């Protein structure tokens, strides 16, 4: 490690990465909240100090040179390390202050964020959380690239080198139109009852689909030709009699709030998912994320009475698994 002053600043590296990201000096200046002439002058000074031209410029575009691409990759790592230093300093003081970027999958976001966001605002007013809604594969990529601090996911066996805190269990239930023959029976659904039934599922890429498929295959159910992009679409098509579907219990207070669907639980061991907060094992915000998980777990568990109220009377008390 050198002890002499470096000929560039972290701010100059931020300017350069902003230009690389936006491919435009004007937009980069706006992103960094500085004037364009000031940003341009700092980029020119950085290039002079490094002895390398970082960008090719013409009237229509700005693109990194080959040398610029390589150097900007190192610059990005330097800034990430600086961010990690600040994050560690924050958590060594008070863990739940500052800012966090947390991903959440689409089959959880509409049902958990309305509960989590107000609770965090009340309990941890000095903590700012930016929520990013994406599918599991995208969130895993963002976690690996250090663009997210954590992600709210359904726990899977192949999530790699991730630390985790389990928030709770979310069992699946069978939903169907009220006129469906399966709706005329009582009690948990036996797997044999679904043999030959048409089941509506989400499109590829949703982890909820992957979690539901093994159960449908075991039941010898037929997948409908329609593959929905969201749970609300599944609900509308099911209510219209296009087939039956599996829904996470977590979704029922929202998706069946008008009572358009008949709901039955599934015979044990019922399929379901484990809701968890995950982050990189090397994250400097681990102490913060452990503390955050404790709050989220309390809020999640407080949902149980409302979720139980969405079940048929004979099924209440049987659907929710403990942490």
Q: What ranges do the domains of the chain cover?
A: 10-91, 97-168+274-308, 170-272+311-315
Question: 10-91: what fold?
Answer: Arc Repressor Mutant, subunit A (1.10.10)
Cα-only R_g, the chain: 25
pLDDT of residue 130: 96
Collect all residues with Cβ–Cβ distance below 8 Å to 33 and sequence separation of at least 6. none
Same fold, 97-168+274-308 and 170-272+311-315: yes
Question: Does the 97-168+274-308 domain belong in CATH 3.40.50.300?
Answer: no
Question: 170-272+311-315: what fold?
Answer: D-Maltodextrin-Binding Protein; domain 2 (3.40.190)
What does the pLDDT profile of the chain (323 residues) look like in tens digits? 777 888 899 999 999 999 999 999 999 999 999 999 999 999 999 999 999 999 998 877 899 999 999 999 999 999 988 888 877 776 666 667 788 999 999 999 999 999 999 999 999 998 999 999 999 999 999 999 989 999 999 988 777 779 999 999 999 999 999 999 999 888 899 988 888 889 888 888 788 888 888 888 888 888 888 788 889 999 999 999 999 999 999 999 999 999 999 999 988 888 899 999 999 998 888 888 999 999 999 999 999 899 999 988 765 544 444 44
Pairing of strands 98-104, 150-154: parallel
């Amino acid at each position: 490690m050198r002890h002499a002053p470096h000929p560039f600043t972290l701010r100059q590296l931020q300017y350069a990465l902003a230009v690389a990201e936006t491919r435009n000096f004007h937009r980069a200046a706006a992103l960094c909240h500085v004037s364009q002439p000031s940003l341009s002058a700092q980029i020119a000074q950085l290039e002079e100090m490094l002895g390398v031209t970082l960008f090719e410029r013409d009237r229509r575009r700005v693109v990194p040179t080959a040398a610029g691409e390589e150097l900007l990759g190192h610059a990005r790592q330097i800034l990430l390390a600086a961010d990690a230093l600040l994050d560690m300093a924050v958590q060594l003081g008070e863990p739940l202050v500052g800012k966090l970027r947390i991903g959440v999958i689409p089959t959880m976001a509409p049902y958990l964020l309305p509960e989590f966001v107000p609770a965090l605002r009340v309990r941890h007013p000095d903590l700012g959380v930016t929520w990013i809604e994406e599918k599991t594969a995208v969130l895993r990529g963002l976690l690996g690239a250090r663009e997210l601090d954590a992600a709210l996911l359904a726990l899977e066996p192949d999530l790699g080198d991730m630390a985790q805190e389990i928030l709770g269990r979310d069992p699946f239930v069978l939903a169907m139109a009220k006129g469906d023959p399966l709706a005329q029976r009582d009690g948990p659904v036996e797997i044999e009852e679904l043999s030959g039934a048409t089941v509506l599922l989400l499109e590829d890429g949703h982890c909820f689909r992957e979690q539901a498929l093994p159960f449908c295959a075991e039941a010898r159910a037929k997948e409908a030709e329609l593959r929905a992009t969201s749970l609300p679409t599944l609900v509308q098509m099911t209510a219209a009699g296009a087939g039956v579907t599996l829904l996470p219990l977590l979704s029922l207070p929202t998706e069946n709030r008008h009572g358009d669907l008949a709901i039955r639980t599934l015979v044990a061991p019922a399929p379901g998912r484990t809701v968890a907060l995950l982050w990189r094992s090397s994250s400097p915000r681990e102490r913060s994320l452990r503390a955050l998980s404790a709050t989220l777990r309390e809020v999640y568990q407080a949902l149980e009475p409302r979720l139980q109220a969405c079940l048929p009377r004979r099924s209440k008390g049987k659907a929710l698994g403990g942490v």
